[in-house]
Amino acid sequence: MNNKTPTDLFLSRLAKTGRRSLRSQLSVTAQLLEWPNEDVENLPFHQLNYAQIEAIKRQRLDDNKSARTINLMLFALKSIVKTGFLMGLVEDMQWRQVQAINRLSVNPSNRGKALVPASVNQLIDHCYQDKRLIGIRDTCMLALLLSTGLRRFELSHLTVDDIQLNDHLVIVKSGKGKKSRQQPLPLWTEQYISLWLEARQLDTGYLFNPVWVNFIKTDKRLSCAAIYQVVKARTLAATGIDISPHDLRRTYITELLNQKVDLSTASKLAGHANITTTQIYDKRNESVMRDAISLLDYKTPQPGST
């Protein structure tokens, strides 16, 4: 018999990283509601109605919280109410009213960075010069992040079997929202993958592992925290720029758009469920708009041509 609450059931369906951020939002919401300080999984968020959630939304606005933060909270609360409805614990009218609550409009973020192609080449070349096992591993990791836009947890959970070089694909089984997808691989990345697979030798297990001096711990996967530290250290050493793994994802999406890949295709390649999300990652500057407008020509008669 399933004794999960709607909150517990909703959170259990999320990836670990997503669960952590939404639990944090729910904890803040519980404080605003002056609910008992206990595990959020046991709290009755599914009982909240339209007026209560709108009041929480207004309170967060008054606290000068960003639209993205508030929308994340709304997503969690609306999803929990929906889960309660599907479990037979919420009336139809309450569910419909809650689903009618509007998200806040989000402007493109000024946060984060995107590397220019010259810096990408500098980073890969600098890391490639490190011929140790850890250097071969890190070069492969950076190449994969920059050529696929994978998220940290997606990279961390890749296995050797997920790499299909003959088909030029990476199979992402643990994507956001627990969705799987096939991620195309550009040819330039495959040489770095092949070098790491050759150095790793074992053709099973997690793709990226901890390296101790000259020993690869093939029975363990490299954690998300370790990937973060590798990216920060390698990019700072190579380029002098403080970059996070998510900035490499921004680099990937921005470069796709720079190379005239349409927004819909870029969104699919990034593993986004919504094109609006992809737009947030676009770090192109105003020169792109100037270049675009220079191409606008209706072939109208020029002054003095008649």
Structure token pair of residue 172: 């992402």
Question: What is the reported pLDDT for 209?
Answer: 96
Contacts of 154 (CB under 8 A, 6+ apart): 172, 174, 175, 176, 271
As a whole number of angstroms, the distance between CA 210 and CA 266 comes to 32
As a whole number of angstroms, the distance between CA 94 and CA 86 comes to 12
As a whole number of angstroms, the distance between CA 244 and CA 224 comes to 12
Whether the per-residue pLDDT at 150 is higher than 70: the answer is yes
**What is the DSSP secondary-structure string of 56-90?**
HHHHHHHTT--HHHHHHHHHHHHHHHHHHHHTT-S
As a whole number of angstroms, the distance between CA 140 and CA 200 comes to 12
As a whole number of angstroms, the distance between CA 140 and CA 114 comes to 19
Whether the per-residue pLDDT at 149 is higher than 70: the answer is yes
Task: Give the residue numbers marked as catalytic.
Answer: 151, 176, 246, 249, 272, 281
What percent of the chain has a predicted confidence (pLDDT) above 90?
A: 51
Structure token pair of residue 9: 């059931």
Tens of pLDDT, residues 94-139:
999 999 998 887 665 556 788 888 999 999 999 999 999 999 999 9
Q: Where are the domains of the chain?
A: 6-99, 117-285
Amino acid at 202: L
Whether the per-residue pLDDT at 299 is higher than 70: the answer is no
Q: What is the mean pLDDT of residues 16-21?
A: 77
Question: What is the reported pLDDT for 266?
Answer: 75
Tens of pLDDT, residues 49-100:
999 999 999 999 888 888 888 989 999 999 999 999 999 999 999 999 999 9
Question: Which residue from 46, 113, 41, 121 is spatially nearest to 77, judged by alpha carbons?
Answer: 46
As a whole number of angstroms, the distance between CA 83 and CA 89 comes to 9
Confidence label for 297 from pLDDT (cuts 50, 70 and 90): low
Whether the per-residue pLDDT at 302 is higher than 80: the answer is no
Contacts of 165 (CB under 8 A, 6+ apart): 185, 190, 193, 194
Return the minimum-mean-pLDDT range out of 171-175, 217-221, 250-254: 171-175
Contacts of 38 (CB under 8 A, 6+ apart): none
As a whole number of angstroms, the distance between CA 234 and CA 27 comes to 36
Question: What is the reported pLDDT for 103?
Answer: 87
CATH of 117-285, one of 1.10.443.10, 1.25.40.10, 1.10.10.10, 3.40.50.300: 1.10.443.10
Name the one residue in this structure whose structure tokens are 């569910």: 95
Contact 101, 57 (CB under 8 A): yes
Return the minimum-mean-pLDDT range out of 60-64, 171-175, 294-298: 294-298
Return the minimum-mean-pLDDT range out of 168-177, 191-200, 211-220: 168-177
**What is the DSSP secondary-structure string of 199-221?**
HH---SSBSS--EETTEE-TTSP
Amino acid at 149: G
Rg (CA), the chain: 23
Question: What is the reported pLDDT for 294?
Answer: 59
